Structure 1
């Protein structure tokens, strides 16, 4: 156990020193660039770029189409180049960019704050919509001069759906792919997440004094210990308890995943996600809402306002307790007026939440379909 902890610490330190490119991309023969950009509210975000595949060169002399992947860095590189999405896209002639949200392992800088004080963590996914997503879209667009194919997994889908519904990034986006969209969380199927959600809506901030929710920190360990005392929970397999019975992960990938994931986020962000019966701004309670918004209830985002001619590909799984089939159905209902020729939906009955980014067969079931979807957009 001590040796495993030491290896994890050494790997994490090496990643922080060398970056994702040096550890996970260039050893496989790909060019890779590390970038930093600043949001309008002062957070400094880390990005990676894989400008071409291992074969190099351009596709028929044409400029490579940019793809922006939002799933926080290292997660996308846990399998071999033939099985991970960023490298598959690069080998298929795309200019691949990977974004890391604020607060995660590689995006913990700020122009005036460090991650220790609570002020650094005073944000939820609304700030990711308002500041992070426009910053990364603008950065990629300014570098490439082309409209962008967007891929969001889980939270990455929520922030893009919300942003597009507000009319943002519409002039810079070429298409959108949503894997395991979590626009709604009304039908969660995992008892641990349900209990956690109830705790988040309650007084967890006061109970633990947590501004940062660090899954590997002692405060979260104490929180999980309380939750896991409830009968019927299998806390010996937290991956399955939280993300569902993933069909197609290999053991080495799971081990690597647990070394680096899940990433830190703001506790306020998890509180907000726990409020997601509808897609609304952060609910501070009646008095707080009056103070922040000038009204008793937070404003609701209207997903049906997404431009109907935006090409959208949605892929979700039958065993995913976070992106539940019924909740995805609520999302699709809001998109019922979308141009039918611009909306594609894939349902994989045996897939759970992590299969979409780590399954050994996701290249055949999901990634090849994404590549074809992108190529169909002219």
Structure 2
């Protein structure tokens, strides 16, 4: 087997590689030691980290007093929020204590904290994985009523939300305020809200023909998400709700999975009436740290050497359990600044303390390798299994490797579903002009100035800066379906939807942006 690094890395990159191996080895050692330690000793480490924080951490660990929206309580365990008084959109509900959100065990518990009842569903994919789905069908006061379940039930439009890389459905509902949770606001606006989960994560860690302890279980990439997880989840939702189409809202990798799925499943375009992409991801430029970026671009397969062929970063939950929450928050912030140059200033400290413990969920190393293949080749492609081709004797010569090997690209310009992109002006992972070139001409892109990637989930003003665009797109492309009989044939309504979409394509224009946002059509600013 050829060495993937010889002749491809400079001395600084070799040093970074060796340091990476050392850190991964140290982490593995700590993980093994922790598994063998009693709970009392783990509690000791947690208490020790808390004392260290209280004694030695400087005030800038949190926001400066003049700008902070939170302070530590006397015991250092909770954060007491002092939100701006001019904000009138709390709907009478006080913000939750970050510790309550942080300690919630699962999606259902998080919803109950805000007064919502959630359903749990399981769908089996065609290749045997069991995926967890969550449903929010009832606004407050509707609990127990039948929704989209027969002619005499409450009829609602259906919307499906999908999370990003290394996440699960909890990221949508771990806010300290319900007004900043998109699923809660959607259900209050009369939608039947469903949330999906990728294979391998907290809610989808089972298959009928393999065990998560086997490497074969983790042998999946973005391709499997697009081939199976997205279309099979959507089919289940439509079957359960007796609907012929739904609206899709994706975040980060959740948008990439939809781009891929819609491009290779023509029939799926008839089942998705509008695709709203928040912080869209297709072919990121790379990482902000030059050495790490050069390392993974030189050979994405280095991640297999570092993390194996199972799940990646599985010890993240370990660090959450032994570190005092503000220290864990600082570690996550530093990591995101190191890799992506994100400052996370639009997210309050109290929201970080509440949400960061719900940020991580399991996925395969292969799916992350797939992303670095996309970054290296600067194209939204399927997974490249022929790794050896990149290390052929002639691979270093200009064009020699690509002359004989070419990985299939996702034909994203074939997508027929109307697409609305909402991206951050400070998001280092989004190159909107490159993305628009790969999407249909009718695609509309709206910039939210100064927003970074995670702001679309947890920013203090996300309800004002982002939700408006989501609601506008949903009303534009789904209100005609709602006007028809929900349980009868939908062809007439769908034809009217398609006529509206075609009219927008032909006009090639959009309405004036709100909230100071900027919009693009066909790569031109409007």
TM-score (norm 1): 0.82
2:296 is aligned, of 167, 175, 197, to 197
1:161 is aligned, of 254, 259, 263, to 259
Query: Match for residue 31 of structure 1?
Result: 117
Query: Match for residue 69 of structure 1?
Result: 161
Query: Kindly tell me: are residues 88 and 217 of structure 1, through their superposed partners in 2, closer, same or farther at Cα, counting changes over 3 Å?
Result: closer
CA distance in 2, matches of 1:321, 1:312: 21
Alignment partner of 2:213: what SS? coil
Query: Kindly tell me: are residues 11 and 109 of structure 1, through their superposed partners in 2, closer, same or farther at Cα, counting changes over 3 Å?
Result: farther
Alignment partner of 1:68: what SS? strand
1:95 is aligned, of 189, 192, 196, to 192
Query: Match for residue 303 of structure 1?
Result: 412
What is the CA-CA distance between 1:37 and the residue it aligns to?
Answer: 1.0
CA distance in 2, matches of 1:187, 1:209: 22
What is the CA-CA distance between 1:52 and the residue it aligns to?
Answer: 2.2
Query: Match for residue 474 of structure 2?
Result: 374
Query: Kindly tell me: are residues 196 and 265 of structure 1, through their superposed partners in 2, closer, same or farther at Cα, counting changes over 3 Å?
Result: farther
1:118 is aligned, of 205, 215, 222, to 215
CA distance in 1, matches of 2:103, 2:344: 29
Query: Kindly tell me: are residues 148 and 296 of structure 1, through their superposed partners in 2, closer, same or farther at Cα, counting changes over 3 Å?
Result: same
Asked if structure 1 preserves the Cα contact closer than 8 Å seen for 2:296 and 2:302, the reply is no
Q: Which runs of 5+ in 2 are unaligned?
A: 1-44, 51-76, 78-97, 321-330, 391-403, 481-526
What pairs up with 1:144-223 in 2 under 5 angstroms?
A: 144-146=241-243, 147-166=245-264, 167-191=266-290, 194=293, 197-198=296-297, 201-217=300-316
Query: Kindly tell me: are residues 360 and 168 of structure 1, through their superposed partners in 2, closer, same or farther at Cα, counting changes over 3 Å?
Result: farther
Query: Kindly tell me: are residues 297 and 85 of structure 1, through their superposed partners in 2, closer, same or farther at Cα, counting changes over 3 Å?
Result: same
What is the CA-CA distance between 1:333 and the residue it aligns to?
Answer: 1.7
Query: Match for residue 46 of structure 2?
Result: 2
Q: Deviations over 1:103-157 (max 9, x none)?
A: 1112111113221121110010100000101111001110112211000111000
Alignment partner of 2:379: what SS? coil
Asked if structure 2 preserves the Cα contact closer than 8 Å seen for 1:92 and 1:371, the reply is no
Query: Kindly tell me: are residues 164 and 218 of structure 1, through their superposed partners in 2, closer, same or farther at Cα, counting changes over 3 Å?
Result: closer
Matched, 1:249 2:347: yes
What is the CA-CA distance between 1:351 and the residue it aligns to?
Answer: 0.2
CA distance in 2, matches of 1:154, 1:332: 16
Query: Kindly tell me: are residues 268 and 319 of structure 1, through their superposed partners in 2, closer, same or farther at Cα, counting changes over 3 Å?
Result: same
Query: Kindly tell me: are residues 269 and 219 of structure 1, through their superposed partners in 2, closer, same or farther at Cα, counting changes over 3 Å?
Result: farther
Asked if structure 1 preserves the Cα contact closer than 8 Å seen for 2:279 and 2:453, the reply is yes
Asked if structure 2 preserves the Cα contact closer than 8 Å seen for 1:86 and 1:96, the reply is yes
Structure of higher CA gyration radius: 2
Alignment partner of 1:213: what SS? coil
CA distance in 2, matches of 1:305, 1:4: 56
TM-score (norm 2): 0.60
Query: Match for residue 381 of structure 2?
Result: 280
Q: Deviations over 1:289-345 (max 9, x none)?
A: 9xxxxx8322111211111xx22211001211222xxx221111223533xxxx332
Query: Match for residue 369 of structure 2?
Result: 271
Query: Kindly tell me: are residues 200 and 84 of structure 1, through their superposed partners in 2, closer, same or farther at Cα, counting changes over 3 Å?
Result: farther
Query: Match for residue 362 of structure 1?
Result: 462
Query: Kindly tell me: are residues 345 and 208 of structure 1, through their superposed partners in 2, closer, same or farther at Cα, counting changes over 3 Å?
Result: closer
Alignment partner of 1:282: what SS? coil
CA distance in 2, matches of 1:114, 1:14: 27
CA distance in 2, matches of 1:176, 1:121: 28
Alignment partner of 1:364: what SS? helix
CA distance in 2, matches of 1:46, 1:144: 17
CA distance in 2, matches of 1:214, 1:25: 27
Query: Kindly tell me: are residues 136 and 210 of structure 1, through their superposed partners in 2, closer, same or farther at Cα, counting changes over 3 Å?
Result: same
CA distance in 2, matches of 1:129, 1:69: 15
Query: Kindly tell me: are residues 47 and 250 of structure 1, through their superposed partners in 2, closer, same or farther at Cα, counting changes over 3 Å?
Result: same
Q: Which runs of 5+ in 1 are unaligned?
A: 222-233, 290-294
What is the CA-CA distance between 1:287 and the residue it aligns to?
Answer: 5.8
Alignment partner of 1:332: what SS? helix
Query: Match for residue 138 of structure 2?
Result: 52
What is the CA-CA distance between 1:205 and the residue it aligns to?
Answer: 1.4
Query: Match for residue 174 of structure 2?
Result: 78
Asked if structure 2 preserves the Cα contact closer than 8 Å seen for 1:286 and 1:297, the reply is no
What is the CA-CA distance between 1:211 and the residue it aligns to?
Answer: 1.9
Count of residue pairs the alignment pairs up: 346
